[in-house]
A = this chain, B = another copy of it.
Amino acid sequence: MREGDVTRRRFLQSVGISGGAGALFATMGALGLAPVRAATPSFRAPQQSDFHLTGRAARKVVILGGGIAGLAAAYELGKAGYDCTVLEARAITGGRNLTIRGGNAETDLDGNTQRAAFSPGNYFNAGPARIAQWMVTLDYCRELGVPVQPFVNANADALIHNDGSAPIRFRTAKADVYGYVSELLAKATDQGALDSVLTPEDKGRLLAFLEDFGDIGEAHEYTGSFRRGFSVYPGAGTDNGTPLPGPPSLSEVFASNVGRHFSGEFSHDQAMMMFQPVGGMDRIAAALTAAVGRQRIRLGARVLSVTGRSSDVTVTFRQGGRDQAITADFCIATLPPNVMAKVPHNLGANVTSALSSFFPFSAGKIGMEYRSRWWENDLRIYGGITQTDLDITQIWYPSYDFHARRGVVVGYYNYGEQAEAYSALTPGARTARAVEQGVKIHGEKYRSELAGAFSVAWNRMPHVEGAWAYPGDYDSYRLLLEPAGRVYFAGDWLSNAIAWQHGSFLSARKAVTALHQRVLTA
């Protein structure tokens, strides 16, 4: 998610390990010694053969929650023959891995019901929508046969918008900021201001870099660049194109603060390339569901209580208006911590307290279908994200079916207070507000071409009640990493990749590994 770097830092601070991670940045010497590898923590899935030597047998496991963590746990345990049952309160699996298509309906905690009217082929990923190359999520796509395609997380032709000003393209903003930064640093270097920290060789190399990086030439002055883009691009014959007017002055460029949007794409979880499953993020949940087996998944099954004993665990749940119970050897609880905190259990007050210490965070998204792909046809924006200081925060252009007739834009993806402001509105009022804001960037066609919309306020989503959750303190976080008797906890909230499926998968693997090890050695 766009603020991943921020949320990660916030998370690291919140669990008190920021200094530890920072201390790992020990200088190792010359460039080139850094190994080119990118792995996820090692994992060996449980296998049926694991039981041959130990004489033990796969056990029965009840899994609370059919989101990515719950499905992944059932999938991995299933490889060794564990008898898993997944209890999912919603009518479909996937949890926040939710893709909205025409005909899908959702009713929120306030009783608002929406039914999507998107045209066939169009969809809206209401939850996770992008996958970094290093994330284990891609490994599951490969293993499960879910085809992937690029997700456009950064686009030089997407826009940066400040309320009250006309938007500019990222390419223009970058050319100007990099131009002036290079000019300033070249000037300071030329004047000898950095002679105490730069050798003559350093200076020469730095200046050569800056001349190229900022397109400032040997005069060390930024006066514009083809990199800013053109209003009419170069053509045939003597048509050299019409460069955009500008650049603005250095003061104007820094006053506009456009540079604040550059670092998002440098972060370890946001840098391009990124990917999405072909046809919607829920293709992952669908593939996991098929691999687990639908007969192992109880839908519409809301957990009522968890009772752990020395030899087993009993979970009661309500399904189809009827209270039922299931007793298993182990339980893996993957509900959001704030939801799990409300489930009666006998696991101890410290567990309740630890679960309650997590605080859910609000985020909201709206999918808006347009009758034409004006962003491609008129603005030549093929996917990517426009950033704005309006409360919609950002507008996403679709990364699939380029050149199709219609397309679904994400009209806002906002967080915290801004998300809560939208979530307090009816779905119709959210759409109206998103349109009102988007018109400031894209003009009246943002209203006139709109065919329909569907919004999700995660804090108002039954059985989810938040976009993601942060740990309140490190002790609580640590406590839930250990099983409470025969009950294990898992989810992105117990990982260093909160709000990412990567975290859900790895947390599920961790719980599965611990459970399996226990069964093998008990």
Contact = CB atoms under 8 A, between A and B. Distances in A.
Among A199, A263, A506, the most chain B Cβ lie within 10 Å of the Cβ of: A263
Contacts of A268: 171, 226-227, 229-230, 233
A509 B383 CA distance: 28
Number of this chain's copies in the complex: 2
Contacts of A199: 251
Contacts of A226: 5, 8, 267-268
A26 B249 CA distance: 11
A264 B175 CA distance: 12
A133 B231 contact: no
A371 B251 CA distance: 55
A274 B378 CA distance: 17
B148 A134 contact: no
Contacts of A349: none
A309 to B, nearest CB: 26
Contact of A506 (B141, B154, B236, B255): B236
Interface stretch (A116-124, A177-185, A292-300, A457-465): A177-185
A190 B503 CA distance: 40
B184 A181 contact: no
Interface stretch (A74-82, A160-168, A333-341, A431-439): A160-168
Nearest to A159: B36
Contacts of A184: 185, 188-189, 194, 197-198, 206
A31 interface: yes
Interface stretch (A16-24, A89-97, A315-323, A407-415): A16-24
Nearest to A490: B236
Nearest to A257: B205
Contact of A202 (B156, B208, B254): B254
A437 to B, nearest CB: 17
A224 B25 contact: yes
A250 B202 contact: yes
Contact of A31 (B31, B256, B377): B256
B155 A227 contact: no
Interface residues of A, number: 147
B34 A168 contact: yes
A36 B227 contact: no
A114 to B, nearest CB: 31
Nearest to A261: B212
Contact of A273 (B24, B157, B176, B510): B157
A464 to B, nearest CB: 20
Interface in A14-62: 17, 20-22, 24-41
Contacts of A150: 149-150, 152, 382-383, 399
Given A206-B184, A213-B263, A34 B237 contact: no
B167 A510 contact: no
Interface in A190-217: 191, 193-194, 197-199, 201-202, 205-206, 208-210, 212-213, 215
Contacts of A210: 181
A71 B120 CA distance: 35
A272 B275 contact: no
B17 A238 contact: yes
A4 B154 CA distance: 21
A32 B256 contact: yes
Contacts of A348: none
Interface string A489-500: 010001111000
A481 interface: yes
A179 to B, nearest CB: 10
Interface in A107-150: 133-135, 138, 141-142, 147-150
A239 B31 CA distance: 26
A216 B235 CA distance: 43
Nearest to A42: B232
Contact of A248 (B31, B266, B379): B31
Contacts of A30: 165, 248, 252
A96 to B, nearest CB: 17
Nearest to A481: B237
Given A36-B159, A193-B193, A212-B260, 7 more contacts: A32-B167, A33-B166, A36-B168, A39-B233, A188-B193, A199-B251, A235-B496
26 contacts: A5-B226, A17-B238, A21-B240, A22-B224, A27-B248, A31-B176, A33-B246, A34-B228, A35-B166, A36-B167, A39-B232, A133-B155, A133-B157, A149-B402, A150-B382, A156-B266, A157-B271, A171-B271, A181-B213, A198-B250, A199-B251, A205-B255, A206-B254, A209-B257, A273-B384, A275-B402
User: Which 5 interchain pairs have the tightest Cβ spacing?
Assistant: A32-B165, A28-B245, A25-B224, A193-B193, A234-B496
